[in-house]
């Protein structure tokens, strides 16, 4: 068994006053041991909801989440509590995800305390210091509070907390979006080192395509709750097939004056995820949209090489 995580037809709907909000709509993917799956999309496309649902921080409306072969949507709470240490999360904004009234050592010790890993406090302290070394936080910060630290160090606390219980899977929800590029590079390197050392599997959620290209083995591109393109990272960047992914890629400002790519400027913005009709959700903004796009929703189809695209006219557009 090579998949640590197998998600099938996962849905999360929220009832709102004007109908049902389809935050995550029929998403399926696999994540292998020791690999990184990148989830990209614009704000509001449901990528954070997906991340939280996979860890059951939010309960899904329907679908299966198989963690190491066990469907965690159906197991009871006691069984799930035992599984929880193996799946952790790193949050986007280290300032709001840390408790401002807890010192660094308390923050990192908290998961260890909750799971009563150590019987005496000397062992606990030792483990906290070990974790600080692992994530590259100098030991002199052990009694400081989050507000005294800069963004990069705060995020390192977030990583240390996630690592405390020796997880197998970490969901990283925009872990570097709030950081400057030099600090971003430090944290990305740290995450990669940890993956190599401990064989961690990451689900890496971000809106930054260059970051996701750097760190992921596989990528899912999401649009309004649905996965519209999914394949290996190399394949995605060499053979971008979905018109949305193409536009997304072309819209990234490239920090170079050479090989500038032609820009596809999309019209309009994300449409509402409330009561979506049964059409291609990208159709209103798509350059190639035709009648059929507005009447039926394209399914993810494999077009070879494990490259899945949800578009009626993918072959025509890309002349395959």
Partner 1 sequence: MSDKVLEVKNLIVHYETDDGVAEAVNDISFSIGAGETVGLVGETGAGKTTIALTIMGLLPRPAGHVISGEILLDGKNIVETSRSRFRQRQNDRMMRKLRGNDISMIFQDPMSALNPVLPVGEQIAEVISLHNKVSKAEAVKRAMEMMELVGISAERYKNYPHEFSGGMKQRIVIAIALACNPRVLIADEPTTALDVTIQAQVLQLMNGLKQKFNTALLMITHDLGVVADICDKCGVVYAGQMVEYGTIEHIFNNPSHPYTKALFNALPSLDKDVERLESIPGLMSDPMALPPDCSFRERCNAKCDKCIPKDPPLFELEPGHFVRCYHFAPSDWEVTSGTAGEKEASK
The yes or no reply on residue 286 touching partner 1 (CB under 8 A) is: no
Q: Which of 15, 69, 100, 255 binds partner 1 (CB under 8 A)?
A: 255
For residue 42, the minimal CB distance to partner 1 (Å) is: 4
Ramachandran angles phi, psi of 123, nearest 5°: -65, -40
Cβ atoms of residues 71 and 64 within 8 Å: yes
Binding piece for partner 1, criterion CB under 8 A, among 102-110, 157-165, 205-213, 308-316: 205-213
Nearer to partner 1 by Cβ, of 2 and 256: the residue is: 256
Under rule CB under 8 A, residue 274 binds partner 1: no
Of residues 128-167, which lie at the interface with partner 1 (CB under 8 A)? 150-152
Q: How far is the CB of 117 from partner 1 (least distance, A)?
A: 32
Nearer to partner 1, 90 or 248 (CB): 248
For residues 100 and 147, the answer to whether their CB atoms sit within 8 Å is yes
At closest approach, how far in Å is the CB of 215 from partner 1? Answer: 8
Q: Which residues make Cβ contacts (< 8 Å) with residue 300, sequence separation at least 6?
A: 28, 227, 228, 230, 308, 309, 310
Task: Please report how close the Cβ of residue 189 comes to partner 1 at its closest, in angstroms.
Answer: 6
Would you give the binding string for partner 1 spanning residues 169-188, x where CB under 8 A is met?
Answer: -----------xxxxxxx-x
Residues 6+ apart with CB under 8 A from 7: 27, 28, 29, 30, 54, 63, 64, 65, 66
CA gap 151, 158 in Å, rounded: 11
CA distances to 6, 37, 206 from 189, rounded to whole Å, are 27, 16, 16
> Segment contacting partner 1 (CB under 8 A): 69-77, 210-218, 274-282, 287-295?
210-218
Work out whether 248 is an interface residue with partner 1 (CB under 8 A).
Answer: yes
Binding residue for partner 1, selected from 6, 198, 207, 239, defined by CB under 8 A: 207
With beta carbons less than 8 A apart as the criterion, state whether 183 and 156 touch: no
List interacting residues with partner 1 (CB under 8 A): 42-43, 150-152, 180-186, 188-189, 192, 207, 209-211, 213-215, 237, 247-257, 259, 263, 265-266, 269-270
């Amino acid at each position: 068994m090579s998949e640590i995580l197998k998600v099938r037809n996962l849905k999360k709907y929220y009832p709102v006053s004007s109908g049902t909000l389809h935050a995550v709509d029929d998403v399926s993917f696999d994540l292998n041991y020791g690999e990184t799956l990148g989830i990209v999309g614009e704000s509001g496309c449901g990528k954070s909801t997906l991340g939280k649902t996979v860890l059951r921080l939010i309960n899904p409306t329907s679908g299966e989440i198989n963690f190491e072969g066990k469907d965690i949507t159906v197991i009871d709470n006691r069984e799930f509590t035992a599984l929880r240490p193996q799946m952790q999360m790193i949050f986007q904004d280290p300032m709001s995800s840390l408790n401002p009234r807890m010192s660094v050592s308390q923050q990192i010790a908290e998961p260890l305390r909750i799971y009563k890993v150590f019987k005496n406090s000397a062992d606990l302290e030792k483990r906290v210091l070990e974790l600080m070394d692992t994530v590259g936080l100098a030991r002199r910060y052990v009694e400081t509070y989050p507000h005294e630290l800069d963004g990069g160090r705060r995020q390192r606390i977030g990583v240390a907390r996630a690592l405390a219980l020796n997880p197998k899977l970490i969901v990283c929800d925009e872990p570097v979006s709030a950081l400057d590029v030099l600090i971003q590079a430090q944290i990305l390197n740290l995450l990669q080192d940890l993956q190599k050392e401990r064989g961690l599997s990451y689900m890496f959620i971000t809106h930054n395509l260059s970051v996701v290209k750097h760190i992921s083995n596989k990528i899912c591109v999401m649009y309004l709750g649905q996965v519209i393109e999914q394949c290996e990272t190399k394949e995605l960047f060499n053979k971008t097939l979905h018109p949305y992914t193409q536009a997304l890629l072309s819209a990234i400002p490239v920090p170079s004056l050479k090989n500038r790519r032609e820009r596809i400027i999309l019209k309009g913005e994300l449409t509402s995820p409330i009561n979506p009709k049964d059409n291609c959700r990208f159709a209103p903004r798509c350059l190639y949209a035709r009648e059929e796009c507005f009447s039926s929703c394209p399914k993810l189809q494999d077009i070879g090489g494990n490259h899945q695209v949800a578009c009626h006219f993918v072959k025509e557009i890309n002349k395959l």
